[in-house]
């Protein structure tokens, strides 16, 4: 059984092991695969593992040996799943592996906005404290979160994790989700309609999937419904936000700050308007990337292949 990993570097830059897949077949791992090399590198492999490298209908036509495609991520939009289904190719994803890491990162973005710890540490190392006239200084407003309201758009596993941490800091949570679980409600957390979440929240965190109905959901019209000085967090999907509208709102101070781990095009383009927007923290899509999270992803990916080889595939997205 030939197995090829098309873009393994981000999952495993050298601190994990591919031994689980090596035990299942003849394995070839590529750090990255340019588009023009995809067909050649798949060749006659029966099992293809990919993260962001696309596997199109044309690729499947040219690589008829493919029997299984495993995605090293939750999202699988890089795969033509309809063609795969028509050809009897099983496509599996990793539905949950970084819940705690992503929820933690959302709160890290928020705390950085509230305290700018990195900036103030750098200022101290540059000598500003030792040469300061007073015994302390700060360059940004310092924000206490207790008593404030966090609106969470998308209250699935990750949204709930973020919500629990927010509540532990004394925040109240307004949750918006198409599927409600009343058992999650308490005196500090309740479900609300989207307009109420937008208008009543001091912080808005996006944890929803990218669908046609959610693409561009944060735009000039929805921002207008928000409190003046709101904080917006997004470590879900970049296209949930109309970036020029958010940049404009940061400039005119309708939005106090934004903490983003995702943008509409990744890697980020140099002309992205958020790069020059004030008080906008942008990190390079790393919420998912703690070693513990990536090891969990690796283990699930191996188990997905094992299940396929045993004739009982799991986490199938193209049934």
Q: What is the pLDDT of residues 124-143, one digit of tens each?
A: 999 999 999 999 999 999 99
> What is the number of domains present in the chain?
2
Are 216 and 105 contained in the same domain?
yes
What are 26's strand-pairing partners? 2
The residue from 67, 157, 190, 285 that is catalytic is: 285
What digits encode the pLDDT tens for the residues 42-85? 999 999 999 999 999 999 999 999 999 999 999 899 999 999 99
Q: Catalytic residue at 215?
A: no
Give the three-state DSSP class for 129: coil
Does residue 318 lie within any of the structural domains? Answer: no
* 198, 204 contact by CB (below 8 A): yes
Of these residues, 120, 237, 294, 296, which one is catalytic?
237
> pLDDT by residue (tens digit) across 195-214?
999 999 999 999 999 999 99
CA 71 to chain centre: 15
Confidence band, pLDDT 50/70/90 cuts, at residue 152: very high
Q: Are residues 304 and 187 in the same domain?
A: no
Among 22, 193, 266, 292, the active-site one is 266
- Share in percent of the chain as helix, strand, coil (round to 5): 35, 20, 45
Question: Do both 245 and 206 map to the same domain?
Answer: yes
- At residue 112, the pLDDT reads 98
In a domain, residue 10? The reply is yes
Could you report the per-residue pLDDT of 253-303, keeping only the tens digit for each? 999 999 999 999 999 999 999 999 999 999 999 999 999 999 999 999 999
Q: How many CB atoms lie within 10 A of CB 228?
A: 8
Give yes or no: residues 214 and 188 share one domain.
yes
CATH of the domain at 150: 3.40.50.720
Q: Cα separation of 279 and 257, whole Å?
A: 5
Is residue 110 very low, low, confident or very high in pLDDT (cuts 50, 70, 90)?
very high
Q: What are the two backbone dihedrals, phi and then psi, of residue 36, each rounded to the nearest 5 degrees?
A: -70, -10
Asked if residue 179 is part of any domain, the answer here is yes
86 and 106 housed in the same domain: no
Q: Indicate if 203 and 270 belong to the same structural domain.
A: yes
pLDDT at residue 37, as a whole number:
98
The whole-angstrom separation of Cα 92 and Cα 128 is: 53
Is 81 in the same domain as 114? Answer: no
Cα torsion through 88, 93, 95, 101, rounded to 10:
180
pTM > 0.85: yes
- pLDDT on residue 128: 98
- Classify residue 49 as exposed, middle or buried by CB count within 10 Å of its CB (0-12, 13-18, 19+): buried
Concerning whether 187 is annotated as a catalytic residue, the answer is no
Whether residue 150 is found in the same domain as residue 207:
yes
> Domain limits at 6?
2-97+291-309
Residue 207 annotated to the active site? no
Instruction: Give the per-residue pLDDT at 225.
Output: 98
* Mean pLDDT, rounded, of the chain: 97
Based on the domain organization, do 255 and 148 belong to the same domain? yes
Residue 46 within any structural domain of the chain: yes
**Average pLDDT of the segment spanning 103-108:** 98
| Domain contains 41 | yes
């Amino acid at each position: 059984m030939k197995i090829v990993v098309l873009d393994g570097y981000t999952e495993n830059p050298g601190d994990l092991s591919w031994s689980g897949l090596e035990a299942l077949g003849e394995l070839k791992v590529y750090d990255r695969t340019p588009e023009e090399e995809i067909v050649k590198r798949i060749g006659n492999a029966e099992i293809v593992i990919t993260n962001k490298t696309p596997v199109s209908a044309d690729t499947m036509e040219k690589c008829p040996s493919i029997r299984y495609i495993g995605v090293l991520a939750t999202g699988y939009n890089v795969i033509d799943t309809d063609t795969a289904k028509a050809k009897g190719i099983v496509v599996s994803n990793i539905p949950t592996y970084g819940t705690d890491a992503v929820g933690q990162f959302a709160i890290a973005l928020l705390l950085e906005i509230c305290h700018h710890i990195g900036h103030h540490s750098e200022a101290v190392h540059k000598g500003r404290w030792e040469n300061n006239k007073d015994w302390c200084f700060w360059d940004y407003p310092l924000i206490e979160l207790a008593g404030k309201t966090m609106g969470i758009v998308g209250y699935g596993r990750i949204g709930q994790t973020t919500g629990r941490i927010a509540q532990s800091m004394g925040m109240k949570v307004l949750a918006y989700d198409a599927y409600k679980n009343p058992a999650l409600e308490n005196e500090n957390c309740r479900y609300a309609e989207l307009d109420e979440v937008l208008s009543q929240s001091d912080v808005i965190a996006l944890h929803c999937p990218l669908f046609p109905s959610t693409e561009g959901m944060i735009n000039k019209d929805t921002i207008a419904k928000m409190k003046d000085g709101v904080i917006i967090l997004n470590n879900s999907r970049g296209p949930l936000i109309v970036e020029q509208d958010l940049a404009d709102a940061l400039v005119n101070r309708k939005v106090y700050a934004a903490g983003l781990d995702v943008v509409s095009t990744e890697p980020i383009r140099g002309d992205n308007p958020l790069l020059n927007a004030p008080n906008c923290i942008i990190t390079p899509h790393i919420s998912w990337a703690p070693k513990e999270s990536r090891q969990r992803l690796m283990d699930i990916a191996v188990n997905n292949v094992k299940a396929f080889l045993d004739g009982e595939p799991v986490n199938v997205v193209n049934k």
